[in-house]
Amino acid sequence: PFGIVGAVGGHLIMGMDFSVLSLCGVVALAGVVVNDSLVLVDFVNRHRDGDRHLLDAVREAGVRRFRPILLTSLTTFAGLFPLILERSVQAKFLVPMAVSLAFGVLFATFITLILIPVVYVILDDVHRTWKWIWASEA
């Protein structure tokens, strides 16, 4: 969902209509965004052992995984940018896909780096509260 906002915003910035090929770019975008999220969540899960507090693991994941996630997304954007600027007849078919993917990755990366850790902590609180409610009813 985050990437779609970036893809639509990219089309607005570039003055392009959203097309079927743009949707193909959104599908490719979903894979990149899910990968960024998995990198972050996997790091938290691996570092959340025994005595380590959740907030410490989330903070450590944000610090240690920030650069790899950001560089992956920026290189994806930088690699697609020449295609976005291309005006040849052959490139006209690929440009909507590249705009969706590039701007979607750019937007979704920043949202992912902020929102995924926050949602992880909130869901952990909900899980602990749910266990506490069921334990007190037994």
Supply 137's token pair: 């009813």
Domain 2-137 sits in CATH 1.10.3720.10: no
Q: Which residues of the chain have pLDDT under 70?
A: 50, 137-138
Q: Which residues of 7-25 are buried (b: 16+ CB within 10 A; e: fewer)?
A: bbebbeeeeeebeebbeeb
Q: Please give the Cα distance from 60 to 43 (Å, whole number).
A: 9
pLDDT at 138: 55
pLDDT at 32: 87
CB 104 within 8 A of CB 74: no
pLDDT tens for residues 65-86?
Answer: 999 999 999 999 999 999 999 9
